[in-house]
Structure 1
Amino acid sequence: MSTVREKLIEATFQEVFTSGYSAASLANILNRAEVKKGAMYHYFPSKKNMVLAMINEKLEQRTKNKWEPIINEDGNLIDILISILQDTKGFNLNEGCPLGNLLQEQLGEDEDFKNILTSILKKWKDIFVSILEKSKEKNQINKDINTLQCATFLIASIEGAILLSKKSNDKQDFEDCMIQLINYINSLR
């Protein structure tokens, strides 16, 4: 059974993901969570604080859950990364990436959002750098690859492809981008 706080975090995620932060309705969040406003104030002083907690707990964990396990795999890490990129079901191409959506909406609007979102983005980049460094150690990619630049490019390409697919409402855009990104990744070998 979920606690009131967990229900609020989940409802906040759903509301912000479907509506964006600015359009997210506190009433909708409370209805989704089946929680009264007074109970919300026991945990969070405002909608902003609740959204910041959701970002910190939910979005960071989603990023880690999707990408960090690659680091500990025994097989070819590049092949594993490619298989994730080829699995379009692993990406929400209609509503976009929750992290990417918030980055677009809030990055320049509020210092608190900027700090937490850029922190998660940095952790994602660090995960990709680790994957690429381990791939170098295992002789799966060229030793002269600049892993920080490569990680930045991979994230930008993935986020851009998701955004393009969301805006065009056509998953083919994502698939086409992934074909080219995979060609790039294969060129690192």
Structure 2
Amino acid sequence: MEKINTKNRLIESAYNEIYENGYQGASLNTILKNANVHKGSMYHFFSTKKEMALCAIQEKIYAKFEERYERILNLDSNYLEALIEQLKDTSQRDFIRGCPIANIVQEMSNIDDEFKVIMEKIYYTFRKSIKNILDMAIEKKEMKECDTNKLSLYIASTLEGAILSAKATGNVQDYSDVIDMLAIFILSFKNCVDKK
């Protein structure tokens, strides 16, 4: 159990340090200090800082997908409304540090193939999470038939842009204004025909 806790502390600390300072600016000493782990213990789980970073990024971001999007699929109805409510929830966003996906893609994807591969996989999973919600809404006849690949791309891109805008201006209202317009667009696909 202690080994699992040690590994989890390393993952949590590595993710926070990378989110705060980027991968290249992340200090291994700070990661170890904040995790309260010695370097020798780290090497029991990870052979390098990079291996630990990739594991931390993957685990923490996938956990956020599950928390934010996958739970919507467990609902019985109102999938679009639940998606919009989740998008509008500013308490789940960090507008100072921005989106961890975008930050890491911009920093590392063009200089490191391993980061490029994992971030591409994470980004497509992010879009697929949104697509799954849209597909469920169509299946339950809450939404008109449409190209959910393109719509999920549009939603993901708009969301990323809204977070970047708020980060750039320091004004969370910029994010909210974009999401309000996005919500109107999403609801334009709502099926108003009685479900029988």
- Name the TM tier (shorter chain): over 0.9
- 1:20: which partner in 2? 22
TM-score, scaled to structure 2: 0.91
- 2:50: which partner in 1? 48
Question: CA offsets, 1:4-27, max 9 Å, x none?
Answer: 111110100110111111111111
Q: Give the Cα separation in 1 of the matches to 2:102 and 2:94.
A: 11
Tell me the CA shift for residue 100 of structure 1: 2.1
- 1:137: which partner in 2? 139
Tell me the CA shift for residue 64 of structure 1: 2.1
- 1:85: which partner in 2? 87
Tell whether the 8 Å contact from 1:106 to 1:113 is kept in structure 2 after alignment: yes
Do residues 121 (structure 1) and 127 (structure 2) align? no
- 2:151: which partner in 1? 150
- 5+ residue gaps in structure 2? 191-196
Q: Give the Cα separation in 2 of the matches to 1:126 and 1:14.
A: 25
Q: Give the Cα separation in 2 of the matches to 1:13 and 1:96.
A: 14
- 2:102: which partner in 1? 100
Question: CA offsets, 1:16-63, max 9 Å, x none?
Answer: 111111111111111111111111112111111110111221111212
Question: CA offsets, 1:83-117, max 9 Å, x none?
Answer: 11221112111211222211221121211111111
- 5+ residue gaps in structure 1? none
Question: CA offsets, 1:120-171, max 9 Å, x none?
Answer: 111122221111111112222211x100000011111111111111121110
- 1:179: which partner in 2? 180
Percent identity, aligned pairs only, is: 34
Q: What code does the residue aligned with 1:148 have? A: N
Please report the RMSD computed on the Cα atoms of aligned residues, expressed in angstroms.
Answer: 1.3
Q: Give the Cα separation in 2 of the matches to 1:56 and 1:165.
A: 25
Which 4+ residue blocks in structure 1 deviate beyond 4 angstroms? none
Tell whether the 8 Å contact from 2:65 to 2:129 is kept in structure 1 after alignment: no
